[in-house]
Structure 1
Amino acid sequence: MAYQETKTTGYGTRVSNSLKGIGIGFLLLLGGTALLWWNEGRTVQITQMLEEAQTVAVHVEDVSKPDPSLNGKLIHATAFTQTKDSLNDLTFGVGCVAIQLERKVQYYQWVEHSETETKDKTGGSQETVTTYYYKQEWIGNPVNSQEFKDPDYQNKNFVLMDIENKSYMAENVTFGAYKLPKDLIGSISGTVPMELSLSEERLSEWNRDIKKSFESTSASTVNNTAAVAGETSTIAEGDSVKVETVATTETGQIVKQDYNYVHVNGNVLYFGKNPNNPQVGDVSVTFTKIMPGDASVIAVVSGNNLQSYIAKNGKKLSVLTSGAVSMDEMFETEHLSNSIISWVLRFIGLFLVVSGLKGIFGILVDLLRVLPFLADIVGLGVGLICKVLGLVWSLLVIAAAWLFYRPVTAGILLAVIVVLIAYLVKRGKNNKKAKVLNVQM
C-alpha cells in the first residue's frame, strides 16, 4: 500500500516564498540572458574554426610511416589504432590488452518513488499530498533505505558487495605511425564483452564469503549499505591479495561457472542466489572492453604525435571517429554537432528566462490565492505573458549577439527583414486602395 504525506503551507508563507522567488527570478533571468549571449558567440567561433580548418586540412592516404613533410599540417587519415598496454582490474583480477576496460556495477534494491499533488484552498493556503511507493529494481548505486519515508520500507536494503564503476584506459595508443593524445583515445568506441573465466579456487572463496554475509543479513537486515561491505572485506575495492589470475576467452563462446551465490555468465559476474530471480542485495558486475580497430582522425602532425589544431580565434579541433569516414563527412558531423548544441543551449536559455519572469511576477498570483479560482485565471494570464515576453527577450538577445559577433551577416538579415516589412505594408495599402476603388465603381 502506498504511503502518503500531507503538508499544508499557509497564505503568509506562500507570499513570503514569492518575495524570495523574485530574487531567484532575477538571477534566472540574468543567467538565461548570459547563456544566450555566450552561446551565440560560441556557435560563431566554432563555425569559424571549422571553416578555417576545412580550408587547410589535407587528406593523407597512408600514415603507416612518419612523414616529416606533414609536420605542423592538419591532416585527415584513416588507419588502424593499436596498443600494447595491459589493462587490469585488480579488484577482480580481470586483465586484457585493450584500449579500454570498463566495469559496470548494478545493485538490486528497493527504490523510493513519489508523486505530488497540490491543491489551493480558500483563504490562500495550499495542501500538498505526496504519495510514496516502492519498487525493487536494478540501480547504479546502493540505496540508503534508512531515509525512506515509509517506516515499513526503512532498513530493507543491503548489498552483498559495495563497489564502484571503474574504467581503465590505455595511455599508449598509436594511429598508424603516430601516437594519439589522451582526448582522442577517449573518443575511440566499439564496446565488446570482456568474457571471464575465473579459477575454481577464487569462485569457491567468493561463494563462501558471500554465503556468510547473506546468511547474517537475512537473519537481521542491516540499516545501511556499508554494514555488509564491512563483512565482505575480501571482495572490497582495492583488495587484490587473494585474487587469482583470470584468463579471458577470445573464442566468443559463453563461459558459465555457477556456485550457490556466485555466477559467471560470459562477461557478467553475479553475486546472489539466482540471476533469473534477483533478490534485494544482489550485485551484477559487467565487464566490457574496446579493442583496436580502424579509425579516422583529423588532427595536426607534431613529430611522431598528433595534437589539436588551434584556429586563429583560439578554438581547438581534434576529432576521432571509429571506422573509415571521409574528411567531408567528419566536418559535416562537426558542423551538425555544433548546430545541435547551439539549439539545445538556446532552449535552455529560453527556459531560464521564462522561469525567471515567472519567479518575478509570481507574487501577483500568490497575492490572489485567497480566492483560488481568481488566482488560477490570473495565473494563466501571467504564464502566457511570461512565455511571450521570455521569447521576445530571448530573440532580442540572440539578435544583439549576432550584431556583435557577425555584424555583416546580421546587417544583411536585418535589411532583408526591413525590406520585407516595407513590401508587405505597401502591398497592404495597395490592396486597401484597390478595394476602395472597387466599391466606388
Structure 2
Amino acid sequence: MSPDTFTETTKIGFGSSIGGSFKGIFFGLLLFLASFVVIYMNEGRVDKSEIAKNAVQVNASVLESHDDLQGALVAAIGIFKTDDLIGDGEYLVSGNYLAVSRNVETYTWVEKVTSKTEDKLGGSQEVTKTYNYVKEWTSSPADSGSFKIPAEHENKITSIKSISTKAPNGMLGVYKVDMKALSLPGSAALPLNTKNVQLPTYGEIVNGKYIYIGDSSMNDPVVGDVRISYSVTESDRETTVFAKLNGDKLGPYLDKKTDKTLYEARRTGLEESVTAMHGEYRVWLWALRVIGFLMMWMGLASILGPISVLLSVIPALGSIGGSITRGVTFIIALVLSIVVILISMLFHNLLVLILLGVAGVGAAVWFVKGKMGKSK
C-alpha cells in the first residue's frame, strides 16, 4: 500500500447502528423543518431587477440640477475612475485601480477520505475508510494535526494572506461615489510583469499570472511553496451605477416597498444590467429551491433511517428497504416542496392572496345560496 494511502476497517454492532439511526431522527427532523424556512425565505427574496427597472437614466458626464430626481433612484452612466493608487502593500506596485484582490495559494498536503459501509448478517456493519494524501495548491491549507496520519504529511502555513482592498475615493463622471458601500463590477485577472510587481526573495513571475515563492519551481513545487495571483477592477471604464441621486453625490437607494437597498455598479447599460439582475435572481431562486428540496429529502430519509437498520439484520432486506425508503421519501419531498413553494409564493404576494380570499368567500356564498335554494 502506498505510504500516502491508509485504510482502516471498523465493525459496528447492531445496537450501535440502531442507536445511531435513532439519533439521526432528531437531526433529520431539524433538517426537515429547516427546509420549510429555506423555501419560504427564498420565495420572499426581492428581485433587484424589479427595483432597478424603475431607475431614471442620467448622463454622468454633465452635472445638471435634476431637481425632480433628488432622492430618487437613477442609473447614472459615465466613466468610473479614481485618482487613488492602490496595491497590496507588499508585491503589487500601486496602480490606478478601483479595487484589488490578492489570492494566496500554498502547496500543501490534502487529506481525502472515502467511506464504504457494508451490512453484515445479524445487523452489524463494517465500515471501511480510505485516507488518501495528495499535494495540491489551495487557498485554505488544512491543519495537518487533524489528519489521520499527520507525521508524514506536515503542512507549512504561510504568513502571506489573501486580502482585498478598495480605492478610498471614486468618481462616476462628475458625481462623487461612496466607495465603501458600493458594490463594484466584477474583477478580472491582472497580467503580471516586472513593471507592476516587486519580486520578493526567491520569487519569480510565472506565465504572467503568478508570483511564485519557493526553493524549487512552480513546475515541481514542494510543500510550503506559495503562489500569488491578483484580480483588479479597472478604473476609467464606462459604468452604470444604480444609486440615489443627492446633488453631486451618488449613494445607497432604499426602496420603501421592499426595504431593499440598491447601490451597485455594472459595466453594462441600463437594460442589459436589469436583465442580468433578473437572471441572477432566477439562478439563486432555483438553486435555493433545489437546496430546500434536498434538505427535505435528507431529513425525511434520516427520520425513517431506523427502518433500514432494522431490516439490515438480513443484508439483502436492508438494501431493498434502503432503496424503497429513498424512493418514497424522494417522491414525498418533491411533492411537498412544490406545495410549500406555491403556498410561500401566495403568502409573499399580498395581492394574489387577497384575490384568492375574495374568490374563496364568493365561492362559499354561492355554495350556501345554492344549498338554500334547493332546500326551498
Q: Which residue of 1 aligns with 2:370?
A: none
Percent identity of the aligned residues?
30
Shift of 1:15: 0.8
Q: Indicate yes or no: 2:2 matched with 1:58.
A: no
**Structure 2 stretches lacking a partner, 5+ long:** 360-376
Shift of 1:351: 0.8
Q: Which residue of 1 aligns with 2:89?
A: 90
Deviations 1:123-163 (A, max 9, x none): 111111111222222111334334332367233x335x432
- Whole-angstrom CA distance in 1 between matches of 2:42 and 2:33: 14
Q: How does 1:27-42 map to 2 (within 5 A)?
A: 27-42=30-45
Q: Does the 8 Å contact 2:25/2:303 carry over to 1?
A: yes
Q: Which residue of 1 aligns with 2:303?
A: 360
Shift of 1:68: 4.2
Amino acid at match of 1:181: D
Change (3 A) 1:51 1:271: closer
Shift of 1:183: 6.1
Q: Which residue of 1 aligns with 2:228?
A: 285
Deviations 1:276-317 (A, max 9, x none): 322222111223433202211222212222122414232232
Q: Which residue of 2 aligns with 1:145?
A: 144
- The normalised TM-score by structure 1 is 0.71
Shift of 1:79: 0.9
Q: Which residue of 2 aligns with 1:220?
A: none
Amino acid at match of 1:57: A
Larger radius of gyration: 1
Instruction: Find the partner of 1:312 among 223, 235, 257.
Output: 257
For structure 1, which segment, 94-103 or 357-366, has the greater mean C-alpha deviation from structure 2 after superposition?
Answer: 94-103
Q: Which has the higher helix share?
A: 1
For structure 1, which segment, 77-86 or 29-38, has the greater mean C-alpha deviation from structure 2 after superposition?
Answer: 77-86
Instruction: Find the partner of 1:3 among 6, 30, 39.
Output: 6
Amino acid at match of 1:84: D
Shift of 1:321: 1.0
Q: Which residue of 2 aligns with 1:22?
A: 25
Change (3 A) 1:408 1:194: same
- Whole-angstrom CA distance in 1 between matches of 2:105 and 2:51: 46
RMSD: 2.7
Q: Which residue of 2 aligns with 1:108?
A: 107
Q: Which residue of 2 aligns with 1:242?
A: none
- Whole-angstrom CA distance in 1 between matches of 2:346 and 2:183: 37
Amino acid at match of 2:59: E
- The normalised TM-score by structure 2 is 0.83
Q: Secondary structure at the match of 2:111?
A: strand
For structure 1, which segment, 265-274 or 165-174, has the greater mean C-alpha deviation from structure 2 after superposition?
Answer: 265-274
- Whole-angstrom CA distance in 2 between matches of 1:31 and 1:186: 30
Q: Which residue of 1 aligns with 2:196?
A: 248
Instruction: Find the partner of 1:162 among 148, 159, 162.
Output: 159
Q: Does the 8 Å contact 1:173/1:185 carry over to 2?
A: no
- Whole-angstrom CA distance in 2 between matches of 1:93 and 1:336: 35
Q: Does the 8 Å contact 2:187/2:231 carry over to 1?
A: no
- Whole-angstrom CA distance in 1 between matches of 2:351 and 2:186: 41
- Whole-angstrom CA distance in 2 between matches of 1:74 and 1:57: 5
Q: Secondary structure at the match of 1:150?
A: coil
